[in-house]
Structures are given as structure tokens and as C-alpha cells.
């Protein structure tokens, strides 16, 4: 099942799970609409042909939805009864922090073998270098900023571009480096409006006539619109514009990297269950498969590499 926000590559993971399970002579069922579908018993058996021609599609063929009912013990009881009636022996849940938290509660109550896959563009789960959908999201954002730079250059403007990521700055950081942004504002690194103003003043002294500032939506300094307003007040000679890329980052055909990552993780999830591994998230660290306990995956902080922030500052000189 897929749960929470959709992420490009989820279909590739579904495909890998189904075909690996069938390779091992297992019956595999797709649960529609996440935990809500699990509660209602909305599931059907999947065969090889059902996952043909989906590896290149964004979104999720199993759909996804939030479920307030699953947050209650009564809702989880209904979900477990649905699992029993359909003779399900284990679950593979593809989703983000909230999905794995729900999986942890569920397996602790009913001791059902569950493996999670990190399906979130935010790349904020501990226990994997990259999550499913992250690479596609940053490529989408970079492509958008490449286009924004054209008009920023033509009109000598300062653009504040806001990207997704909730409280994680990974999308902003990688997008900023990849797009040649002048500065990156992320929640993990302390900064100030004064520092931003200082950077812009230095840029003006060296006749840098335009710039792009990438802002993570969880920035503690404020969102892109707020920062643009403050800068306009302090530097009235600067013409500022704001672009919020938004949900464009969640859609689109997954990159090759995301397709390969999703395929490896889907395969690993099935193999893990067969080896007796459960209550863990499958991830890739240094190009090797690792299984991280749910509790660690959702509670431990995934640190930003300080060298990458240093790189942003050096390349913006």
C-alpha cells in the first residue's frame, strides 16, 4: 500500500514488490487508498500484468489518502480484522514519516510483520541517503529555476523561489546547488535577515544585477513572500519577485535514479519479509541496503551535510 503524500517512483516500487513476490510464489494484494482502504478491506490481488507499463508513471496506481480513523484504536482494530479476513501475512507500506508512524503503532498492537519504504519527496527520513521521489522533485525544481533565471537576468530582478520539504531543507539545498542559486534558506541552518541583506549588498557591489534565492517552505525566517517583502523594505532599489513551485514537485514521470532506487527498495522489502525482518524501513546508505527500525527512522534527525552549505556560499561568490 501507498500512504501519505504521493511521490514519483511509488509505482516503480509497487511493480518491484509485485514481481519479486510472484517470483517467490507469493500472493500479493494491492490495498487501495492507504490506511483508509485497509480499514474498508479495499484490496485486490495483483499479477505481473497489473503492474506492466507503470514504471514511468508518477503518482501511485494504488492511490493514497489520509485516514483519521486509523489514528484511533478502533480504526486499527478494523484494519486488523480486514487483514485477517483476507489472510494477509505481512505488509509493505510505502510512505513518509506519518505512514511509518502508523505502521509502528499497528505492528506494536497486532504483531503483524511490516516493512516500510521511504516514499517522500522531502528526503527527511533517517536511515536512507535518498527517499523515493526526492530526485525527481529536485530535478523538477531545478528545471523551473532554470526558466526563472532567464527572466531574472532579462529584467535584473531578485527572485525568491519557494520549494517544498516541510521542515526539511534537502530539496532547497540540492535545488540551490543544482540551479546555481545565489543563496539558500533552510530550517536546519541558523541564519538571519541581516545576513541575507549583507549578501545582497555584496552582490550589488560587484555589479551582480540579478539573483535567485531558494527558500525551503519550513524556513524559520519566513516564507518566500515574507522575505521578499522585508528585502523590498530594506533595499528599495531592488525589484523582487516571488515564485512558489508547489505541487509541481510531487508530480511527473520519475527520473531514472528514482526508478532504480524504488525498484531496489521494493525488491529488498519482499526479501526482507521472507528473511523474517519486520518493523523496519528499507533504505539505501552508501549504495547498500539497510533496514532501520521504524522508531529510529521517524524520530532520529537526518542531518544536513555542512559541506553542502559551505559549497552554496563559495559558489555564490
Helix (H, G, I), strand (E, B) or coil at 176: helix
Sign of CA dihedral 274, 54, 99, 119: positive
Tell me the CB-side half-sphere exposure of residue 44, using CA atoms within 13 A: 8
Instruction: Look up residue 37 and give its three cell numbers.
Output: 482502504
Of 168, 255, 274, 156, whose CA–CA distance to 209 is shortest? 156
Q: Which residues of 190-211 are buried (b: 16+ CB within 10 A; e: fewer)?
A: ebeeeebeebbeebeeeeeebb
Q: Are 172 and 184 in contact (CB under 8 A)?
A: yes
Q: 143, exposed or middle or buried, with CB in 10 Å at 0-12, 13-18, 19+?
A: middle
C-alpha to C-alpha distance for 185 and 314, rounded to whole angstroms: 15
C-alpha to C-alpha distance for 118 and 200, rounded to whole angstroms: 38
User: Which residues, in sequence order, are CB contacts of 109 under 8 Å at separation 6+?
Assistant: 73, 76, 80
Report the alpha-carbon angle 200-204-208, nearest 5. Answer: 100
| Start-end of H helices in the chain | 10-23, 34-40, 73-85, 97-110, 134-155, 170-179, 193-205, 224-234, 256-274, 294-299, 306-315
Of 239, 242, 206, 210, whose CA–CA distance to 223 is shortest? 242
Q: Catalytic positions, please?
A: 122
Round to the nearest angstrom and report the end-to-end CA distance of the chain: 46
Amino acid at each position: 500500500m501507498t500512504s501519505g503524500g504521493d511521490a514519483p517512483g511509488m509505482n516503480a516500487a509497487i511493480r518491484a514488490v509485485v514481481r519479486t513476490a510472484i517470483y517467490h510464489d507469493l500472493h500479493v494484494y494491492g490495498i487501495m487508498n492507504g490506511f483508509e482502504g485497509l480499514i474498508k478491506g479495499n484490496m485486490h490481488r495483483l499479477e505481473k500484468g497489473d503492474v506492466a507499463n507503470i514504471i514511468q508513471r508518477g503518482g501511485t496506481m494504488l492511490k493514497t489518502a489520509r485516514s483519521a480513523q486509523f489514528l484511533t484504536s478502533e480504526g486499527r482494530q478494523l484494519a486488523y480484522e480486514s487483514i485477517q479476513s483476507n489472510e494477509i501475512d505481512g505488509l509493505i507500506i510505502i510512505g513518509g514519516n506519518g505512514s511509518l508512524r502508523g505502521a509502528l503503532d499497528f505492528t506494536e498492537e497486532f504483531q503483524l510483520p511490516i516493512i516500510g519504504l521511504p516514499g517522500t519527496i522531502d528526503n527527511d527520513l533517517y536511515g536512507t541517503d535518498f527517499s523515493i521521489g526526492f530526485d525527481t522533485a529536485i530535478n523538477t525544481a531545478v528545471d523551473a529555476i532554470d526558466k526563472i533565471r532567464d527572466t531574472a537576468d532579462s529584467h535584473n530582478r531578485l527572485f525568491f523561489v519557494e520549494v517544498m520539504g516541510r521542515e526539511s531543507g534537502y530539496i532547497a539545498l540540492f535545488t540551490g546547488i543544482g540551479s546555481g542559486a545565489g543563496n539558500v534558506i533552510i530550517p536546519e541552518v541558523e541564519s538571519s535577515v541581516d545576513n541575507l541583506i549583507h549578501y545582497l549588498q555584496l552582490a550589488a557591489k560587484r555589479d551582480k544585477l540579478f539573483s535567485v534565492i531558494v527558500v525551503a517552505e519550513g524556513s524559520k525566517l519566513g516564507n518566500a513572500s515574507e522575505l521578499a517583502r522585508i528585502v523590498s523594505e530594506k533595499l528599495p532599489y531592488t525589484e523582487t519577485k516571488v515564485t512558489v513551485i508547489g505541487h509541481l514537485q510531487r508530480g511527473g514521470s520519475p527520473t531514472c535514479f528514482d526508478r532504480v532506487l524504488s525498484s531496489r527498495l521494493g525488491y529488498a522489502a519482499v526479501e526482507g519479509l521472507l528473511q523474517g525482518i519486520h518493523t523496519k524501513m528499507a533504505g539505501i546508505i552508501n549504495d547498500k541496503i539497510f533496514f532501520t527500525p521504524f522508531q529510529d527512522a521517524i524520530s532520529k534527525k537526518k542531518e544536513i551535510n555542512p559541506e553542502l552549505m559551505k559549497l552554496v556560499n563559495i559558489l555564490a561568490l
